Structure 1
Amino acid sequence: MALDIAPKRLPVPEQSAEERIKNFNDVVIGYSIEEAVAESARCLQCKNAPCIKGCPVSIDIPGFLKAIKEKDLEKSWDIISQYTNLPAVCGRVCPQEKQCEGVCTVGRIKGYEPVSIGKMERFIADWKAEHGSKVAPKVPEQTKGNVAVVGSGPSSLTVAGDLAKMGYKVTVYEALHAAGGVLMYGIPEFRLPKAIVRREIDNIKALGVKIETNVAVGRSVTIEELQSHFDAVYIATGAGTPHFMGVPGTSLNGVYSASEYLTRINLMHGYEFPKYDTPTKESEKVVVVGGGNVAMDAARSALRLGAKSVQVVYRRSLEELPARIEEYHHAVEEGVIFNWLTNPVEYVGSETGNIVGVKCIRMELGEPDASGRRRPQEIKGSEFTIEADTIIEAIGQGPNKVLLSAFQELKLNKKGYIDADPETGQADPEWVFAGGDIVTGAATVILAMGAGKKAAEAIDKYITEKKAAGK
């Protein structure tokens, strides 16, 4: 099938690998207007629009691309901003290859690549910030009710922005000193600049949303206070408690969870030492355990902090790697070494208690496990040791217990996450709604946002019906 469009997507300008490992600046430079117009012309404007169905927040992708093609960038922004409160974030960190781009009609034609939808979303959001009209958004009268949002990550920001647009007075409570949740402390600057996150948050504040930082709900604000002051509460505190493998030597100096390592860099400006007096450990030989996006973030951050050798240890093969393929390719280009089918069995320490190496064992893949991936099995007698002065475990995270332990009435599931309706986010008690990683376990930014959008509609329905009934 021959089409009158370019078969390959337009390459997106990036910093070279040699240049970018020396800084924490955005790796991807992004499209120019001319490049964006050319890439948008590759969209077929399908009537069934599978890309919309593949987007967790149902953005009108053909619509905003058509407007770019016609060089009506204000219209493109108007379209995209109806569906997402965080377009510059989504355009940078969403796994588009598994969602909108993964079902793009163009990409399903032999010899053709899908439209670069994610980079186009990023383009229009960045263009709006730099060149678009600066008209303040119209804020509806906030008279429909009061809603509290606990946490300030992507799910929280989405529900807060959507409810504000509906006419609700929304207060967001964040335990840390900066709003943004995982967007601020979990994702490195080179993949998601913090100025971008702050810009998106400022846009949500402009809708009338109030954000209070340094407030630990369950401690400085009680659950009883929330129930008495608000018509509904949305909880999206994420999954920030790190998991550890528990192998011998975990307590040695130099063994970190990826969440601690990345938080030291992101939230405490460790990458700007000595400008900020919050340095991370100076490392020469780093081993990262895990194969997800967080593992890629930790490995690539360690390189930028001066490590001479960074190796990833993953117990499965490249075929099962859960990280985005783009992040993997960037890591390889930057010099990260991957040890496939390998798993740690012991961390080796010196007499002074510092990590000096990791003892590993080779693995082979057996039958599929509950995740659908082939289960890794140890190969007896295949042990070997990798020298290391820093170990970073990136093997997943669990729910934060501060709020959950203070809220005994809140129903949890067997895994310790909030038991909430997957379609509405409503939990038990009924005035509580929840979404994002605190419900699903660690997942993606865009899935958390999708949960926030569904919950906003459900909260509006709940409060409206409750008031109509005179309750």
Structure 2
Amino acid sequence: MTAKLKQKIAVIGSGPAGLTCAADLAKLGYAVTIFESLHSPGGVLAYGIPEFRLPKNIVKEEIASIKDLGVEIKTGMVVGKLFSVKELFSQGFTAIFVGVGAGLPQFLGIEGEWLNRVYSANEFLIRANLMKSYLFPEYETPLNVGRNVAVIGGGNVAMDSARVALRMGSKVTVIYRRSEEEMPARKEEYENAREEGIKFYFLVAPVKILGDKNNWVKGMELIKMKLGPPDSSGRPRPIPIKNSRFSLNFDTVVIAIGQRPNPLIPESTAELKIGRIG
């Protein structure tokens, strides 16, 4: 049996990194407390990855086993807002692991992103998964999804968003500005999406989201792209083709072009060193 140590360790975030860190530290004998901002632990395991890919009972079982190690999990704790990292140290924690993930959505910066039925992938997946909007009215968190959905992006989150929308009864099209070969999504996820009937438009990029007189999405203006020299990611840079704009009809748009860390902790912890992306 592992001897209990006196040191208290705080873990901020209960996603994959936070849960793994907490479990490993508990096995070494440390007293570990996890601080989770949402009302339920699990992070992206709970709200990001759809039920059909990762059944939530598995996540609950894993979390229960970590609790059995003696790890305490406090939910609804927004570190950086309710209290600071410095205040955690003042509560007797000798070390703090920050594992908050990249939960802040990125947007395109184009006209029409404010229209009704335009979602970030984060909001779309959280409401569909964690808030169980697919069980409305049993759960009072409806997700207003139309019959013709466009998902912008080519990563795993875009594939998840597209497949969730499909399961909600919508026709789904994925819009990606590079070619099939440059898609960052896992090949398995992409192939599953295609097999399920999701359509893909490659080498096109959104220019404007179109709305009707009541500010509901009615379509999207796009431009055709060609591939140029590699950019900083090492992939060919997408270059707009002049005079190639066209429009497609959609009634819902999900933007899945990447995420970045929430700045709450860095902004409230001056001495914390961060990398280029936060």
TM-score, length-scaled by structure 2: 0.96
Asked whether 1:159 is paired with 2:21, we answer yes
Report the alpha carbon displacement of residue 217 of structure 1 after superposing the two structures with TM: 1.2
SS at match of 1:191: coil
2:120 corresponds to which of 246, 257, 261: 257
Report the alpha carbon displacement of residue 142 of structure 1 after superposing the two structures with TM: 2.4
Supply the distance in 1 between the matched residues of 2:28 and 2:103 (Cα, whole angstroms).
30
Instruction: Tell me which residue corresponds to 2:109.
Output: 246
Supply the distance in 2 between the matched residues of 1:221 and 1:210 (Cα, whole angstroms).
18
Identity of aligned residues (%): 52
Instruction: Tell me which residue corresponds to 1:282.
Output: 145
**Runs of 5+ unmatched residues, structure 1:** 1-137, 418-471
Instruction: Tell me which residue corresponds to 1:193.
Output: 55
**Runs of 5+ unmatched residues, structure 2:** none
Instruction: Tell me which residue corresponds to 1:305.
Output: 168
1:234 corresponds to which of 84, 87, 97: 97
Supply the distance in 1 between the matched residues of 2:245 and 2:140 (Cα, whole angstroms).
40
SS at match of 2:116: coil
Instruction: Tell me which residue corresponds to 1:173.
Output: 35
Q: CA offsets per residue over residues 173-223 of structure 1, 9 Å max, x none?
A: 001000011111111111111111111111111111111101111222332
Report the alpha carbon displacement of residue 144 of structure 1 after superposing the two structures with TM: 4.5
Q: CA offsets per residue over residues 382-413 of structure 1, 9 Å max, x none?
A: 11111111100000011102222222221223
Which amino acid is 2:196 matched to? Answer: E
Larger RCO: 1 or 2 (CA < 8 Å, sep 6+): 2
Report the alpha carbon displacement of residue 329 of structure 1 after superposing the two structures with TM: 1.0
Supply the distance in 1 between the matched residues of 2:101 and 2:66 (Cα, whole angstroms).
20
Supply the distance in 2 between the matched residues of 1:235 and 1:395 (Cα, whole angstroms).
24
Report the alpha carbon displacement of residue 305 of structure 1 after superposing the two structures with TM: 0.8
SS at match of 1:231: strand
Instruction: Tell me which residue corresponds to 1:408.
Output: 270
1:40-439 to 2 correspondences below 5 Å: 140-228=2-90, 229-307=92-170, 309-415=171-277, 417=278
Report the alpha carbon displacement of residue 261 of structure 1 after superposing the two structures with TM: 0.4
| CA radius of gyration, larger in | 1
4+ long deviations beyond 3 Å: none
Which amino acid is 2:217 matched to? Answer: I
Contact 2:86 2:269 (8 Å CA) reproduced: no
Supply the distance in 1 between the matched residues of 2:16 and 2:261 (Cα, whole angstroms).
16
After superposition, the CA RMSD in angstroms is: 1.2
Greater mean alpha carbon deviation, residues 146-155 or residues 277-286: 277-286
Q: CA offsets per residue over residues 89-139 of structure 1, 9 Å max, x none?
A: xxxxxxxxxxxxxxxxxxxxxxxxxxxxxxxxxxxxxxxxxxxxxxxxx5x
Supply the distance in 2 between the matched residues of 1:193 and 1:231 (Cα, whole angstroms).
35
Count of residue pairs the alignment pairs up:
277
In terms of fraction of residues, the more helix-rich structure is 1
In terms of fraction of residues, the more strand-rich structure is 2
SS at match of 1:413: coil
Supply the distance in 1 between the matched residues of 2:79 and 2:4 (Cα, whole angstroms).
23
SS at match of 1:382: strand
